[in-house]
Every structure is written in C-alpha cells, then in structure tokens.
C-alpha cells in the first residue's frame, strides 16, 4: 500500500498559487475549519444562519469586497478572491453566497456605478460586515430574462417612487441596504435603498431544500420614496446589473470546486474506512474508477479556474469566458457530489456527512447567476455569432 495523495495534490495546482494568494487562502481555510464547519449541519438543518454575526467576522477576516480597491476594501487579486470563495464553499455554498452577494453584487454595484457619496456612505461599513447588502434583480416572472422586469421607478418632483416585487433575493431579510434594479422612463436603472425606508419589506422565503444555510427573501417595494441621490449614476440599462453578475459568477467558478473537493475528500476517506465483503470500499476497482474520474474533473476545473483568475488579474477576462467556467465547474461539481453520494451508500443521505448537503446546495448554484442553459447559450452565441435566447 502507498500513502494516499489528496485529489488536487495529484494535479500539483498548489505550485500555480503564489505566496500572497496562498496566505489569504490559508487564512480563510483556517477560519472555515475553526469557526463554521462544526456548526454548519445545524445551520442547514434548522435553516438558520447567524448572518449578522458571521458578516462581522468575515469583515474582520477581510473577505467582504476583498478584490475591490479603496473604501476599506482589501484590494487583493481576483485569484485570491476566487480561492477564498473556494474555501468558503468547501464549508457550504450558503456561506459563499453571503460573501458573493455582499462583495460581488451589492458592494461591486456601488463601487463600480455609485456616486462618491454612496461609496463613502456604504462601502466601508459593508467591508467591515457592519452593514449587509442584497441585490434585487430577479422577479417572480422574470429570472433568466430580467429585461422584462415590472418593478418601476417614477419621478415625483426630485424624488423617486419605486413599486414592485423582487424574488429569490439572497441576504434580503438581513440586509441594511438593497441594490434594486427598476424600469424608469430612461431605461433600467439601479437604486441604493436603505431597508428601513417606509414601504420596503423583505419576507423570508422558507421551505427551501437547498441553500438552507443562507437567507433568501422576497423584496416588496410599495411606494418606496427615495431622494434623487439614491440612483446609481453610472449604470444605464441592463449592462449595469450584468456587470455585477459577471463578478459573482467568477467567484462561483472557484467556489463550486470547494464543494466538490469537500465531497471527494470526504468520500475517499470514507471509502478507505468502510469495509464491504471483507475489504475496504476503496480497494475495489469500481470505486477507484469513480474516484479517478471525479479527480480528473476536479483538477481540470481547478486549472480552468486558475487560468480565468489570471486572465481577470490581467484585465483580459471576457464574459463568455466566465460563462465557460461557471457552466463547466458547477455542472461537474454537481456531478461529483452526486457520484460521491452513491459511494457513501445510506450514509450519503445523512447530514452527518457533507455530501448531500453540498449536492442540494449545488442545485441552486446551477440555477442562480445564470442557469446552465443560459451559459450554454452565451457560449453558443460566442461560437456561432447567432443569439438564440429568444
């Protein structure tokens, strides 16, 4: 018998991660191991996550908006941000969602498209985890096609009045600030909405079988009156929210691999200890064929993620390349989670092991930030020049 190697160790991807990025990654890995991993099964089972407390701790760790520059943000490389997402999602996709929505959607929208006043008001508190943000784009009848949105903002003197409903909004019920996208006479515009504004409410969505350790909410805007300074001055049309989604999707390219790695490592360990017909499950050829194939997909996904990370750090990453990464890595991560579940047998369905929790979470990750089909269409358009969305 030889000493077993971890799946990514076999690929040698560690050599592709430089010192600074590695130090950040290790700090996040330690935080996840010590602070969140032991609690996660309970949070998932009870569908309750101490989001405010966690946000402050994540703020201290420096991961909220970590790849943004200034206003209290750490200004790390994009690759370091991706690696942090990977470690967070190795714990649970819900934890990574909290960080992605905060940093890549809500903070990025303000950082990229906001006024100086909006940036100064919100970003330092959001980076510290003292204010949680959410991002309201999806509506009950418009998910993949946000251009159809019904939420409207109309002028009333110098003010705006916003009416509408957003659906499936991560962090909604625990947020201090919501970035809400609405139709106006001048096209789709973004608004920074303090959640204590009269007319705003965010009932939590319950009965979820996926991302249970994440707050998901409806946003109801009923005659919400905002000053003219609440509009994001730089974002006009759908390109505003799509630029934010592109940031969050990049984090998912890495993040999904964290869930897959955790499933695979758990399963390798399990199969070495589980005796079946008098020998370890790991010693059967059928098991090793599955483990080898899953390791290939995990390693290929990691190489792709690191490549896209380098392109982003060089400011050369294109949206269709992010689609390639999200499509492949989430699809393969879900495949790995499901295959691992088979190897755990009945234990595979228990919360004592993280595998089915990850598999269930990845069903949401497959759907949000652009469904797999939407990313296939983005790649298809890049390949053929023909848009086939409608």
Please report, as residue ranges, which positions from 176 to 215 form the binding site for ligand FAD (by CB under 6 A): 211
Q: Is 360 in the site for ligand FAD (CB under 6 A)?
A: no
**Which one from 89, 121, 339, 369 is the annotated catalytic residue?**
369
Q: Is 242 in the site for ligand FAD (CB under 6 A)?
A: no
- At closest approach, how far in Å is the CB of 252 from ligand FAD? 11
- At closest approach, how far in Å is the CB of 120 from ligand FAD? 24
Q: Per-residue DSSP letters for 319-340?
A: HHHHHHHHHHHHHHHHHHHHHH
Contacts of 136 (CB under 8 A, 6+ apart): 151, 166, 169, 172, 178, 179, 180, 181, 219
Q: Is 367 in the site for ligand FAD (CB under 6 A)?
A: yes
Q: Residue 162 or 211: which CB sits closer to ligand FAD?
A: 211
Backbone angles phi, psi at 156, to 5 degrees: -140, 95
Q: Residue 39 or 371: which CB sits closer to ligand FAD?
A: 371
Distance, CA of 362 to CA of 211 (rounded, Å): 8
Q: Is 83 in the site for ligand FAD (CB under 6 A)?
A: no
| In contact, 133 and 65? CB cutoff 8 Å | no
Q: Is 243 in the site for ligand FAD (CB under 6 A)?
A: no
Q: Residue 211 or 232: which CB sits closer to ligand FAD?
A: 211
CA atoms within 13 A on the CB side of 107: 33
Residue 297 annotated as catalytic: no
Q: Is 364 in the site for ligand FAD (CB under 6 A)?
A: yes
* Tokens, residue 134: 């959410």
- At closest approach, how far in Å is the CB of 217 from ligand FAD? 9
Long-range contacts made by residues 379-385, C-beta under 8 angstroms, separation at least 24?
379/320, 379/323, 379/324, 379/327, 381/320, 382/320
Binding window for ligand FAD (CB under 6 A); candidates: 38-46, 48-56, 130-138, 194-202? 130-138
Instruction: Please name which of 104, 380, 91, 376 lies closest in space to residue 249, comparing C-alpha atoms.
Output: 104
Angle, helices 19-31/51-61, rounded to nearest 10 degrees: 150
- At closest approach, how far in Å is the CB of 352 from ligand FAD? 24
Distance, CA of 224 to CA of 133 (rounded, Å): 18
Residue whose CB is nearest to ligand FAD in the complex, by number: 143
| In contact, 68 and 99? CB cutoff 8 Å | no
Binding window for ligand FAD (CB under 6 A); candidates: 52-60, 119-127, 129-137, 286-294? 129-137
The count of residues interacting with ligand FAD (CB under 6 A) is 19
Residue with tokens 């079988």: 209
Q: Residue 7 or 172: which CB sits closer to ligand FAD?
A: 172
Q: Is 108 in the site for ligand FAD (CB under 6 A)?
A: no
Rg of the chain over Cα atoms, rounded to whole angstroms, equals: 21
Query: Under the rule (CB under 6 A), what is the footprint of ligand FAD?
Result: 101, 135-138, 143-144, 168-170, 211, 216, 364, 367-368, 371, 373-374, 389
């Amino acid at each position: 018998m030889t000493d077993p190697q971890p799946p990514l160790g076999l690929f040698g991807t560690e050599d592709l991660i430089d010192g600074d990025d590695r130090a950040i990654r290790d700090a996040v890995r330690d935080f996840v191991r010590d602070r969140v991993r032991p609690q996660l099964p309970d949070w998932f089972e009870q569908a309750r996550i101490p989001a405010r407390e966690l946000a402050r701790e994540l703020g201290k760790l420096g991961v909220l908006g970590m790849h943004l520059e200034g206003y209290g943000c750490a200004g790390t490389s994009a690759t370091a941000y991706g690696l942090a997402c990977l470690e967070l999602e190795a714990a649970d996709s819900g934890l990574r969602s909290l960080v992605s929505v905060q940093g890549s959607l809500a903070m990025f929208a303000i950082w990229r498209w906001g006024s100086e006043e909006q940036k100064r008001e919100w970003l330092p508190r959001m980076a510290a985890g003292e204010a949680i943000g959410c991002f309201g784009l999806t509506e009950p009848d418009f998910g993949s096609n946000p251009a159809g949105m019904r939420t409207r903002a109309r002028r009333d003197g110098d003010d705006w009045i916003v009416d509408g409903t957003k659906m499936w909004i991560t962090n909604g019920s625990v947020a201090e600030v919501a970035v809400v996208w609405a139709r106006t006479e001048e096209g789709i515009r973004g608004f920074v909405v303090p959640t204590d504004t009269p007319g705003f409410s965010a009932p939590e969505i319950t009965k979820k079988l996926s991302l249970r350790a994440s707050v998901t909410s409806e946003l109801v805007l009923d005659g919400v009156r905002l000053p003219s300074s609440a509009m994001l001055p730089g974002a006009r049309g759908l390109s505003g929210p799509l630029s934010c989604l592109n940031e969050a999707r990049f984090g998912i390219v890495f993040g999904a691999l964290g869930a897959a790695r955790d499933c695979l490592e758990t399963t390798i360990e399990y199969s070495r200890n589980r005796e079946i017909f008098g020998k370890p499950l790991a010693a059967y050829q059928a098991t090793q064929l599955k483990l080898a194939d899953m390791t290939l997909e995990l390693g290929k996904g990691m190489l792709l993620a690191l490549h896209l990370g380098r392109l982003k750090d060089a400011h050369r990453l294109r949206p269709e390349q992010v689609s390639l990464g999200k499509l492949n890595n989430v699809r393969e991560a879900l495949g790995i989670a499901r295959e691992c579940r088979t190897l755990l047998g009945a234990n595979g369905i228990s919360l004592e092991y993280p595998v089915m929790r990850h598999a269930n979470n990845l069903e949401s990750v497959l759907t949000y930030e652009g469904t797999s089909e939407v990313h296939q269409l983005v790649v298809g358009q890049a390949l053929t020049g023909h848009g086939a969305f409608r």
